[in-house]
Structure 1
Amino acid sequence: MEKENKKTREKAKKERNELVRQLVAFIRKRDKRVQAHRKLVEEQNAEKTRKAEEFRRQQKLKQAKLAEQYKEQSWITMSDLERELQEMEAQYEKEFGDGSDDEDELEEQETKDKLHDETEEAEFLDGLYCPACDKLLKAKKM
C-alpha cells in the first residue's frame, strides 16, 4: 500500500511541478517587465557588438595609415649599395685592368667546388643522415 501511495504522490508532484513550469513560461511571455528586460539585454548586446566592430574598423584604419606613412630605411635600400658596388668595380677595373685572368681562376675554383659538393651529396645519399643530430650515420639501427 505504501509503495502505491508513494508512486501516486511522486506522479502528482511531477504533474504539479510541470503545471507550475508551464504557468511561469506563459506569464513570462506576457509580462511586460520580462519583455522590457529582454529588450534591454538585446540592446546592450547590439551596442557591444557595434562598439567592437567600430573598434576593429578604427584599428584597421590606424594600421592602414601606419602602412602609408612607412618609409623604408636608407640602410635597407639595396639600390644605393648596388650603385656604389658598381662604381667601385668600375674604379678597380680602370686601375688594375679588365681582370680576365681572375675570371679563369674563378671558373676553375667553381668547378672544383661543384665536384666537391657532388661527392658530399653522394656520401649523404649512401648513408643515413639525421637532421636533428646533424650527423651522417653509417648503419641503420633499430
Structure 2
Amino acid sequence: MEKENKKTREKARKERNELVRQLVAFVRKRDRRVQAHRKLVEEQNAEKIKKTAELRRQQKLQQAKMAEEYKEQSWAAMSELEKELQQIEAQYGEEFGDTSENAEQPNDNDPTIDCYDDLYCPACDKSFKSDKA
C-alpha cells in the first residue's frame, strides 16, 4: 500500500512540476519585462561581438605594421651564416687537406677507406656486419 501511495505521489509531483514549467514558459513569452531583458542581453551580445571583431582587426593591422617595420638582425641573416660556413669549410679543408673537390672523389691511397665497408658509423667509430646491427 505504501509503495502504491509513493508511486502516486511521485506521479502527481511530476505532473505538478511540468504544469509549473509550462506556466513559467507561457508567462516568459508574454511578460514585457522578460522580453525587454532578452532584448537588452541580445544587444549586449551584439556589442561584444562588434568589439571583439574590432579588436581582432586592430591586432591584425598592428601585426601587419610590425611585419612591415621588421628589420632582420645582422646576426640572424642567412647570408652571413652561409659565408661563415664556407670560411669554416675552407679552413678545415686547408687544415686537414680535405677540400670539397677531394671529398667527392675517393682517394685510393687512403688506407682507412679500405678497411671499412658501407656499414660504418662515424659517430660511434664502428663498422657493422648487418643493417640490423
| 1:16 and 2:44 matched | no
- TM (norm. structure 1) is 0.55
Query: What displacement does 1:14 show?
Result: 1.3
User: TM-score of the superposition, structure 2-length normalised?
Assistant: 0.58
Match of 2:119 in 1: 123
Shift of residue 60, structure 1, vs aligned partner: 1.0
> What is the CA-CA distance between 1:72 and the residue it aligns to?
4.5
Tell me the SS of whatever aligns to 2:119: helix
Aligned residue pairs, count: 108
- Return 5+ residue gaps in structure 1 as ranges: 83-104
Shift of 1:9: 2.1
Match of 1:68 in 2: 68
CA distance in 2, matches of 1:50, 1:71: 34
Aligned counterpart, 1:92: none
Secondary structure, aligned partner of 2:54: helix
Greater helix share, 1 or 2? 1
Q: Distance in 1 between matches of 2:36 and 2:65?
A: 43
Deviation (angstroms), 1:62: 1.1
Structure 1 pair 55–120 and aligned structure 2 pair: CA distance change class (3 A): farther
Q: Which moved more, 1:66-75 or 1:8-17?
A: 66-75
SS in 2 for 1:112: coil
Distance 1:56 1:22, change over 3 A: same
